[in-house]
Amino acid sequence: MKVAINFNQKTSHDYTVYINELSSLKFDTKVAIITNPKVAGLHLKRLLSLLEAKEVYIITVADGESFKNQKSVDFILENLFNHRLDRKSLLIAFGGGVIGDMTGFVASIFQRGIDFVQIPTTLLSQVDASVGGKTGINNAYGKNLIGAFHQPKAVYIESSFLETLPQREFGAGIAEIVKMAVTFDKTFFSWLEKSDLHVKAHLAEAIKKSLETKAWVVSQDEKEQGLRAVLNYGHTFAHVIENETGYSRYLHGEAVSIGMHMANMLALSLGYFTKEEVKRVEALLHQYHLPTRYHIRDVEKFYEGFFLDKKTYNATIKFILPQGLGNFIMIEDVAKKTVLDVLSRCGEDGEVA
Ligand SMILES: NC(=O)c1ccc[n+]([C@@H]2O[C@H](COP(=O)([O-])OP(=O)(O)OC[C@H]3O[C@@H](n4cnc5c(N)ncnc54)[C@H](O)[C@@H]3O)[C@@H](O)[C@H]2O)c1
Ligand SMILES: [Zn+2]
């Protein structure tokens, strides 16, 4: 299966996402694979058996979001220079979103930009992070605040890499799939409700559907000046939750799951979503053991947290809310009182009231 990424404004090159088609990779250049010890231990042998290139180097950085930083970037760059990679060389990102974002960023700055290929190995990076060209690292001021738009040359999705993925990481990826369905595609949402994504063929179909949605969004709005912001549905809330819990209690996708439920509750209170729809989305998230409720101790403080997000310009909060299943609305003028009221009810277990 293939998904084409074609840009409306030809500032970036078009490319292809290949799904379950990785049989061989041939490059007439030097190649450096950027990975981490966990992914290398599990899957590098297989990748190397498929790869042919002039020279192949392996650069391993420590595993984890806390290593998505300038220090790791410097380490990778140093290795590239030591191995004498040049402007024609190619990087391969082999790992989850952390490796993908960081490799893409290094590719964007090494000798003013070289090609890179994404081979994502988590569900989250397969359905979301590896496509669209957002690259970057974190610093003391926040997540992904340093980076560049740099599109990969190609993306290879292999669902067999997911066989070693822990269940929680799998669920985290599902949250991003649900995100695409709720905001853009009602038919896809209904299909998800009745399809078990632990079944291989269903998963491949869900990956393809999500990528088609992402491809369409990114082709309309590569640099996030409008439509692409819809992919942040649930994220405005999730970022505050991640911040409050020190990025340790929840995986990103789990925080997004809670964030989507919060967005849905807000949409319900504003009349854009029915109680039935809130329940359907929550039930789907629960099928994959995703959390949806989070008790906020101080709703005022949580609200203040929205303003720390780099996507909150000019002190207004732009909420991305579902408007019926498969549709969205971007809305800026929600009364603070309405938001606080919803936030104060989001931690309650049980029936949606
Ligand atoms: N660029 C974008 O558009 C975009 C979109 C969404 C998220 N992101 C970024 O992606 C990152 C999150 O990505 P992630 O969820 O993939 O996290 P991750 O890269 O940290 O991977 C999660 C864990 O799974 C391990 N792992 C990877 N593949 C595995 C496999 N096949 N089997 C077993 N374990 C495996 C990793 O080593 C890691 O420990 C965040 O930094 C986020 O900012 C970027
Ligand atoms: Zn996300």
Does 140 reside within a domain?
Answer: yes
Contact 151/125 with Cβ under 8 angstroms? no
pTM above 0.85, yes or no: yes
Nearest ligand 1 atom to the CA of 135 is 1
Among the bound ligands, name the one nearest to the CA of residue 224: 1
Q: Do 75 and 197 lie in a common domain?
A: no
Which positions ≥6 away from 83 have C-beta within 8 Å?
30, 32, 55, 57
CATH number at residue 185: 1.20.1090.10
**Which of 124, 138, 247 gets mutated to test ligand 1 (max ligand atoms within 8 A of its CB)?**
124
Q: Do 196 and 305 lie in a common domain?
A: yes
Q: For residue 99, give its domain range.
A: 2-164
Q: Do 25 and 133 lie in a common domain?
A: yes
Among the bound ligands, name the one nearest to the CA of residue 118: 1
Q: 62 C-alpha vs ligand 2 centroid, how far in Å?
A: 22
Does 351 reside within a domain?
Answer: no
Among the bound ligands, name the one nearest to the CA of residue 122: 1
Question: Tokens 């970057």 identify what position?
Answer: 136
pLDDT by residue (tens digit) across 262-298? Answer: 999 999 999 999 999 999 999 999 999 999 999 999 9
Q: 129 C-alpha vs ligand 1 centroid, how far in Å?
A: 8
Q: Do 142 and 93 lie in a common domain?
A: yes
* Domain boundary pick from 99, 133, 164: 164
Residues marked as catalytic: 112, 134, 176, 214, 224, 228, 232, 235, 239, 252
Q: Do 159 and 186 lie in a common domain?
A: no
Q: 235 C-alpha vs ligand 2 centroid, how far in Å?
A: 7
Residue closest via CA to ligand 1's atom 10 equals 97
The residue type found at 196 is D
Separation between Cα atoms, residue 44 and residue 315, nearest integer Å: 46
Q: Do 45 and 70 lie in a common domain?
A: yes
Per-residue confidence (pLDDT) for residue 312, from 0 to 100:
55
Question: Tokens 């560049």 identify what position?
Answer: 148
Does 173 reside within a domain?
Answer: no
Rg of the chain on CA atoms, in Å: 20
Separation between Cα atoms, residue 164 and residue 94, nearest integer Å: 14
Does 170 reside within a domain?
Answer: no
Does 175 reside within a domain?
Answer: no
Q: What are phi and psi of 19, to 5 degrees?
A: -110, 120
pLDDT by residue (tens digit) across 171-211? Answer: 999 999 999 999 999 999 999 999 999 999 999 999 999 99
Pocket of ligand 1 (CB under 6 A): 36, 38-39, 42, 63, 65, 68, 95-99, 101, 121-122, 124-125, 128-129, 132, 134, 143-144, 161-162, 164-165, 169, 172, 252
Does 352 reside within a domain?
Answer: no
Q: How many domains is the chain partitioned into structurally?
A: 2
Nearest ligand 1 atom to the CA of 64 is 20
* Domain boundary pick from 109, 129, 164: 164
Q: 122 C-alpha vs ligand 1 centroid, how far in Å?
A: 6
SS3 call for 106: helix
Does 293 reside within a domain?
Answer: yes
Q: What are phi and psi of 267, to 5 degrees?
A: -60, -40
Q: 272 C-alpha vs ligand 1 centroid, how far in Å?
A: 32
Q: What is the 3-state secondary structure (H, E, C) of the chain?
A: CEEEECCCCCCCCCEEEEECCCCCEECCCEEEEEECHHHHHHHHHHHHHHEECCEEEEEECCCCHHHCCHHHHHHHHHHHHHCCCCCCCEEEEEECHHHHHHHHHHHHHHHHCCEEEEEECCHHHHHHHCCCCEEEEEECCEEEEEEEECCCCEEEECHHHHHHCCHHHHHHHHHHHHHHHHHHCHHHHHHHHHCCCCCHHHHHHHHHHHHHHHHHHHHHCCCCCCHHHHHHCCHHHHHHHHHHCCCCCCCHHHHHHHHHHHHHHHHHHHCCCCHHHHHHHHHHHHHCCCCCCCCCCCHHHHHHHHHHCCCCHHHCCCEEEECCCCCEEEECCCCHHHHHHHHHHCCCCCCCC
Q: 95 C-alpha vs ligand 1 centroid, how far in Å?
A: 7
Among the bound ligands, name the one nearest to the CA of residue 132: 1
Q: Do 143 and 202 lie in a common domain?
A: no
**Which of 17, 43, 46, 101 gets mutated to test ligand 1 (max ligand atoms within 8 A of its CB)?**
101
**Which of 42, 122, 137 gets mutated to test ligand 1 (max ligand atoms within 8 A of its CB)?**
122
Does 169 reside within a domain?
Answer: no
Count other C-beta atoms under 10 Å from residue 174's C-beta: 25
Separation between Cα atoms, residue 80 and residue 17, nearest integer Å: 26
Between CA 322 and CA 223, with CA 17 as vertex, the angle to 5 degrees is 55
Q: 336 C-alpha vs ligand 1 centroid, how far in Å?
A: 34
Query: Within 13 Å, how many C-alpha atoms sit on residue 119's CB side?
Result: 28
Contact 346/265 with Cβ under 8 angstroms? yes
**Which of 42, 60, 65, 125 gets mutated to test ligand 1 (max ligand atoms within 8 A of its CB)?**
125
* Domain boundary pick from 132, 164, 196: 164
CATH number at residue 160: 3.40.50.1970
Tens place of pLDDT for every residue, the chain, 353 residues? 898 888 877 778 888 899 999 989 999 999 999 999 999 999 999 999 999 999 999 999 999 999 999 999 999 999 999 999 999 999 999 999 999 999 999 999 999 999 999 999 999 999 999 999 999 999 988 889 999 999 999 999 999 999 999 999 999 999 999 999 999 999 999 999 999 999 999 999 999 999 999 999 998 888 888 898 999 999 999 999 999 998 899 999 999 999 999 999 999 999 999 999 999 999 999 999 999 999 999 999 999 999 876 655 567 899 999 999 999 999 998 999 999 999 999 887 777 76
Helix axes 186-194, 167-184, angle to 10 degrees: 140
Separation between Cα atoms, residue 265 and residue 279, nearest integer Å: 10
